[in-house]
């Protein structure tokens, strides 16, 4: 059994060393497809509009590592996270909705909230969850970089090590940033 596992590890390391472009394409293609579906869902596909009620709201804080207050780090208020009666979740940057009744618009596939309005005010410009805030721009950059990397690896036969590492490292960093922002936003 140990010899069998050793052969698998040795052969997989050998494949990674011999065909790094192919492995990048195999890993990046599903990510590119999901990214495309997410962007199509957010920007092109029709959205569902309805009235809903806010069930809960929570304040969101982030630690401020700059100053210490009474032996602990000061927390900085970022915004509010809301949950609705129909199961939607969204985050507003420093904007509190005092009413319970709201109008909401969301995407069909990923249920991303794209519009929030109450009787008094439109809160759409304060939305920060999913592709609403700065994450949209990171997503565009990552999408373009993935497309460039896949096309380069498919059609450029003599690619330099520097170019290969730049594409690989930049896409890895952008993926980690996007994943972090999606999970903790």
pLDDT in tens, the chain (185 residues): 677 766 665 565 555 445 778 888 888 999 999 989 988 998 999 999 999 999 999 988 877 655 555 555 677 888 899 999 999 988 888 888 999 999 999 999 988 899 999 888 998 888 887 778 788 888 899 999 999 999 998 888 788 888 888 888 899 999 998 888 777 66
SS3 assignment, position 41:
helix
For 70-155, strand residue ranges (E) read 72-84, 89-93, 101-107, 113-117
163: Cβ contacts below 8 Å, ≥ 6 apart: 152
Q: How far is residue 55 from each of residues 51, 69, 77, 95, 135, measured CA to CA in Å?
A: 13, 34, 21, 16, 26
Put the strands of the sheet holding 101-107 in their side by side order: 89-93, 72-84, 47-69, 101-107, 113-117
Question: What is the Cα–Cα distance from 88 to 134, expressed in whole angstroms?
Answer: 20
Q: What is the CATH number of domain 46-132?
A: 2.40.50
Question: What is the Cα–Cα distance from 116 to 52, expressed in whole angstroms?
Answer: 10
Strand partners, 63: 75
Query: What residue spans define the domains of the chain?
Result: 21-42+136-184, 46-132
């Amino acid at each position: 059994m140990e010899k069998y596992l050793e052969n698998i590890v040795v052969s997989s390391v050998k494949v990674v060393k011999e065909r790094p472009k192919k492995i990048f394409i195999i890993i990046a293609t599903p990510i590119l497809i999901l990214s495309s579906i997410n962007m199509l869902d957010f920007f092109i596909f029709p959205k569902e509009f309805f009235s809903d009620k806010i069930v809960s709201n929570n304040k969101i804080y982030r630690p401020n590592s700059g100053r210490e207050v009474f032996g602990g780090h000061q927390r900085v208020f970022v915004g509010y996270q809301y949950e609705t009666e129909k199961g939607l979740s969204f985050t507003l940057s420093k904007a509190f909705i005092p009413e319970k009744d709201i109008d909401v618009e969301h995407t069909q596939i990923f249920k991303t909230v794209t519009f929030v309005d109450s009787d008094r005010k439109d809160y759409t410009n304060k939305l920060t969850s999913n592709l609403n805030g700065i994450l949209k721009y990171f997503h565009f950059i990552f999408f373009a970089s993935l497309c460039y990397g896949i096309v380069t690896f498919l059609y450029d036969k003599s690619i330099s090590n520097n170019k290969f590492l730049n594409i690989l490292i930049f896409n890895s960093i952008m993926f980690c940033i996007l994943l972090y922002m999606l999970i903790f936003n």
